[in-house]
Amino acid sequence: MRGLQRNPSIYEGECTNGIFSIVKRQYASDEKRVQAAIARLRACPRVLEQGRANLTDTVREFAQIASEDIRDGDSLYTTTLNEVARDTSPQTRSELAQAQTVALTALHAYRAWLDAHMNGFHAGGFAVGRKRYDWFLRRVLLLPYDSTEVARIGRLELARDRALEMWENARDAELPSPSPPPTFPSKAAFLSYYEQSLAKLITFINAHRIVTIPSYIGPFHIVEVPKALAATYPGGFMNPPGMFSSDPQGFYFVPDFSASNQSFFVQQARQSVLPLLGHEGIPGHFMQFTYAFHNPDYVRHVQQDGVFAEGWAFYGEEMLMREGLYDDDSGARKQVIHLMRHRATRIGVDVGLATGEMTLPQAIAYFQKNAGIDYDTARGEATRFAMGPGQAIDYLVGKTQIETLLGLVRDREGANFSQRAFHDRLLSYGTVPFSTIRYEWLGDDTWLRPVLEPLAPQQF
């Protein structure tokens, strides 16, 4: 992909992510965190200058995104850090102010350089090609599918999801009008609603014997997105426990759900927060990472296969719906089905961009039409997938593999099959490729065999 030569976002992202990783979790005292931020702010000019030297084959679309990120990103460096530094020493705050000026001056100059050269950067030309993409699917993700088969999974699922959407709408047409989205008189009431929803989710999981919530799992806190981060992360974000941390806590930073926040994912969650909590919290990412980070096997502890992680969280969305969690919540059912359609569309976009069969404008239009999302969301997602091919397929491909494993295990165990036992054992393997799990669990190398075929060195 040659990102260092082609993608200006890498360099401004080093600055941004370096600061965000400090402010998003209180891993040390504010004094220590701000001192670490000062050092990173001072390093930004060197990073950006190296970027200018490295960017010899710059993609215009990537440069446009980098410019927009810088344009909209000052609040992270100013308001956010000032909030963290509020109770630090006067000397630290003075050093921070100086370092903020250094970093922002460099970032604004980097943006001005990108804007001045924008017309000279080439448009498109970022596809890795089918040969490289297939190599990635097989040798990195250890998938038994090539790009043609992955695309077919997406198309079949998209057709199914559109039918589900139609059936759901027909069902709802015969039911009383759903209750309006909840409103909250205060922030406390807003956060309490999330806490109550999480408790409802946990009660449902236990009552239906879906999966064992381990005794060692830490609290999953529902907290408001810090005021300083609201502009930077309008959709909220999740922090799992640290991979090697003794602190078991997880956090979901909930966004502002007022009408002024028009984020696609916020709009999806306004009617019901349960699908979101199921994906991000329990039984989704927070619980799954907690399982993995308690695995005594080092490789299983540290492996972070995206197909497993996103596949498990996405699988849980429909699974909870089918179990009956949303029987009295048509808004939640519609949300789950719409997000299924969204993830199926992602596959077509990812494969199309990576193989060169789609231009970025075509991918954006495909997203809008098939996922039913607005232009800004479609552009943001499509550009992100162009920058990093292969991640967008994780959700649906992983879910498909879990469903296949479930059928195989149920066929083998017959009357002894238990859904809870299946889910518990699946999570016990860690966040590893499903091809290895199928072999370990069932002694079946159907998925593993294709990725073990020797490949001679290839010149891409």
Inside any domain, residue 443: no
C-alpha closest to that of 73 among 118, 9, 4: 9
Q: Are 396 and 305 in contact (CB under 8 A)?
A: no
Place 261 in a pLDDT band, splitting at 50, 70 and 90: low
Tokens for 129?
């090609």
C-alpha 427: how far from chain center: 19
pLDDT tens digits, 384-428: 899 999 999 999 999 999 999 999 999 999 999 999 999 999 999
Looking at the structure of the chain, the number of domains it has is 2
Looking at the structure, tell me whether residues 281 and 342 fall in a common domain.
yes
- The encoded tokens of residue 430 equal 């860690």
**CB contact set of 353 (below 8 Å; sequence gap of 6+):** 126, 127, 360, 363, 382, 385, 386, 389
Q: What is the pLDDT of residue 1?
A: 65
In a shared domain, residues 168 and 79: no
Of 120, 153, 179, the last residue of a domain is 120
- Backbone phi and psi for residue 432, each to the nearest 5 degrees, phi listed first: -120, 165
Note whether 42 and 141 are same-domain residues.
no
- pLDDT for res 252: 85
Same domain, 94 and 218: no
Q: Which amino acid is located at 391 in the chain?
A: Q
Looking up tokens 């469903």 gives 403
| CA distance linking residue 202 with residue 131, whole number of Å | 45
Q: In the 8-state DSSP scheme, what is residue 121?
A: S
209 found inside a domain: yes
Q: Is residue 426 part of a domain?
A: no
Per the CB < 8 A criterion, the answer to whether 47 and 15 are in contact is yes
Does residue 375 form part of some domain? yes
Residues 85 and 230 in one domain: no
Supply 36's token pair: 């670490």
DSSP assignment of 228-264: GGTTT-TT-EEEPPPTT-S---EEEEEPP-STT---H
Asked if residue 460 is part of any domain, the answer here is: no
User: Looking at the structure, do residues 116 and 139 belong to the same domain, yes or no?
Assistant: no
Tell me: do 81 and 190 sit in the same domain: no
Q: How confident is the model at residue 64 (pLDDT cuts 50, 70, 90)?
A: very high
With beta carbons less than 8 A apart as the criterion, state whether 306 and 223 touch.
no
Statement to judge: residues 186 and 86 lie in one domain: no
Please check whether residues 275 and 194 belong to one and the same domain: yes
With cut-offs at 50, 70 and 90, classify the pLDDT of residue 253: confident
Query: Of the candidates 62, 86, 120, which is a domain's last residue?
Result: 120
The full DSSP string for 357-374 is SS-HHHHHHHHHHHH---
Residue 453 CB-density burial (10 A; 0-12 exposed, 13-18 middle, 19+ buried): exposed
Residue 296's CB: how many other CB atoms inside 10 A?
6
User: Are 198 and 284 in the same domain?
Assistant: yes
Look up the pTM and report it: 0.90
More reliable by pLDDT, 235 or 167: 167
366 within domain boundaries: yes
pLDDT of residue 404: 98
pLDDT at 73 over 50: yes
Give domain status of residue 270, yes or no.
yes
Residue 338 and residue 377 share a domain: yes
Looking at residue 59, its pLDDT comes to: 93
Of 387, 422, 447, the position where a domain reaches its end is: 387
What pLDDT band is residue 228 in, cutting at 50, 70 and 90? very low
322 and 269, same structural domain?
A: yes
- Pull the structure tokens for residue 32: 């220590």
pLDDT of residue 114: 97
Taking the C-alpha atoms of residue 4 and residue 10, their distance in angstroms, rounded to an integer, is 7
What range does the domain containing 40 cover?
3-120
